[in-house]
Amino acid sequence: MSAEPALSLEPAGTARAPGGVRMRWWGWGDPEHPAALPAHALAYLRETVGLAPAPRPPVALEAVSLPASTLPAKALEQLREIVGREHARTDRYERVSHAAGRAYPDLVRLRAGAPEGAPDAVLYPASREQVQALLAACARLSIAVVPFGGGTSVVGGVEPLCGGHQAVAALDLGRMAELLDLDEASLTVTAQAGMRVRELERLLGERGLTLGHFPQSFEHVSLGGCAATRSAGQASTGYGRFERMVLGLKLSCPTGEIDLRALPASAAGPSPRELLVGSEGAFGTIDELSLRVRAAPGERLYEGVFFADFATGASALRELAQAHLAPAVARLSDERETAVSLALAGSGGLKGMLGRGYLRARGYAHGCLAILGFEGEPEELRARRERALAIVRRHRGLAVGRSPGRAWLRSRFAAPYLRDDLLTHGVMVETLETATAWSNVGALHRRVGEAIEQALRACGTPGIVMCHVSHLYETGASLYFTFFARQLEGEEIGQWRAVKSAASAAIVEGGGTITHHHAIGRDHAPWLEAEIGREGVRMLRAVKSELDPTGIMNPGKLLI
């Protein structure tokens, strides 16, 4: 059975938004994308965690249960006066497409045709003036507003919650996607927040520049979404987290607007930029961003290295980061992730090259694969790489050539497609992440991994839990966990919640941040106080009250 059974049911020719990017309403990415999970991977999962007896495709769009709109006709009319009739949509496709982000529970619900709700209208403003008029109208009319960029949140960041208001509207920035300015001397680009990161990267590429921001959601995520969630891309070790790129921004909020012009640095009091970056739509909508760009690298050299174990590999990465020799991309899989990657790799790929025989003979039978991605001008890249590999060798790292690097680059944005296929086969797959000090990386890795394993076992669905380090800092690193288990049919959400809670508790009790790059959204909101304290939450709440006194902005996210 195909993994895209609902595809033909989408309204023919309905682009989700002028300038926006069409995405499967029930899952990830390009509706034309073929099934991505190879047969041998499916066989491996059948043996290890088990599959559903029969595939469980998503329901048809028509079968999705949609609540009746609670938006009074008069209110809709007022919103339409601002953006035009065709840009205030209430049709099924639009409402369902904006009914959820792309978290695991979102997909479980969407595929079952049972989203928790849907926006009563989807608004597509064309300008900052329209955004501000919409926010003012919504405040007046008691309509909650969910700013919507690429819709790729994995933490419930765009759930259409009313927060006690009479209705909820999605504010899709898809029509605000213009490049506004490129100051090449200052390596600064200014663009509207609805622009997709991929599109900006394409435009910059034409000028020999790069933003260097490649989250897994790269093909769909918007600039505004990255800023609102403190996104970190796969190359953040080299190019920095998204908040490091934000030099200036403009935000609209129900009480007005904030314009922070692009500045390289400032000592003018607390940073308002850092207060709006990460505000997740709860203070207002980010309309425009000025971002630091860089010269595109003349060469990209991605390669694989095996370490004897995770602790040794982590030590090597730590030394690289602290010597300022870390490559742009540096990822270290733990023993389990390495083993699963080898098992899932096609026979012609990594597996063939790195068969257990080869590794066993060299003492790396239970080793850990790292991907090191060097970027830069050829001569400088070679010099840096040589010095970096000297550190790797001191940690007995075994260079295994470029094939693993190329394989990783090829599939770097593919995981969400695989997730769709796994869900079709009744396999829960979820990721969660944290960051901590280097001295705590080993302990937190064990603690969170064990918490997830225990919670899965307690559900009666023992799983595979694996992890990688993928963002390096001088003082610490991120830990990114992925786990697979058989879905508890009919209890998918409860199963997920049990594991998520156990992992979150282990993270905050173990000294990690509740989120290194997925943001707070709805799913992490109960843990924010554990991270920043009661006064810290009150401080953010005070800002929200000032900018959004009636609480229409993205209720139920960030601050609950």
Q: How many H helices and E strands in the chain?
A: 20, 18
* CA triple 161-163-166, angle to 5 deg: 90
- Whichever of 213 and 486 has its CB closer to a second copy, that residue is 213
Instruction: Tell me the CA distances in angstroms from 65 to 95, 96, 119, one per residue in order.
Output: 11, 9, 13
Among residues 30 and 183, whose Cβ is nearest to a second copy? 183
Q: Which residues pair with 376 in a beta bridge?
A: 299
DSSP-derived 3-state class of residue 367: coil
CA gap 224, 150 in Å, rounded: 9
Q: Does 260 bind a second copy (CB under 8 A)?
A: yes
H or E stretch including 399?
A: strand 398-401
Taking the complex as a whole, the smallest distance from the CB of residue 177 to a second copy amounts, in Å, to: 23
> Binding marks (x or -) toward a second copy, 463..502, rule CB under 8 A?
--------x-xxxxxx------------------------
Residue 249 binds to a second copy (criterion: CB under 8 A): no
Q: How far is the CB of 260 from a second copy (least distance, A)?
A: 6
Helix (H, G, I), strand (E, B) or coil at 507: helix
Select from 52-60, 289-297, 357-365, 393-401 the region that touches a second copy (CB under 8 A).
289-297
Q: How far is the CB of 184 from a second copy (least distance, A)?
A: 8
513 binds a second copy (CB under 8 A): yes
Restricted to residues 5-34, the positions that interact with a second copy (CB under 8 A) are none
Residue 388 found at the interface with a second copy (CB under 8 A)? no
Which tokens go with 104?
A: 């695991």
User: Is there binding between residue 517 and a second copy (CB under 8 A)?
Assistant: yes
Q: Could you tell me the smallest distance in angstroms from the CB atom of residue 31 to a second copy? A: 29
Strand bridging mode 167-172 / 121-123 = parallel
Minimum CB–partner distance for residue 296 and a second copy (Å) = 13
Residue 288 in contact with a second copy, rule: CB under 8 A: no
Which residue in 272, 312, 415, 560 binds a second copy (CB under 8 A)? 272
Given 14, 65, 347, 439, the residue binding a second copy (CB under 8 A): 439
Interface with a second copy: number of residues (CB under 8 A)? 90
- Out of 16, 196, 241, 336, name the contact with a second copy by CB under 8 A: 241
**Integer angstrom CA distances of residue 252 from 193, 225, 274, 537:** 12, 14, 16, 22
Work out whether 276 is an interface residue with a second copy (CB under 8 A): yes
Structure tokens, 237:
């070790």
**Does 543 interact with a second copy (rule: CB under 8 A)?**
yes
> Based on CB atoms, which residue is closest to a second copy, 361 or 437?
437
Answer for the pair 261, 229: CB distance below 8 angstroms, yes or no. Answer: no
Report the SS3 class of residue 299: strand
| Binding status of residue 246 toward a second copy by CB under 8 A | no
Residues 6+ apart with CB under 8 A from 436: 444, 476, 477, 479, 510, 511, 512, 513
Strand, helix or coil for residue 80: helix
The reply on whether position 74 binds a second copy by CB under 8 A is no
Q: Which residue stretch of 195-203, 290-298, 332-340, 443-451 sits at the interface with a second copy (rule: CB under 8 A)?
A: 290-298
Radius of gyration of the chain (CA): 23
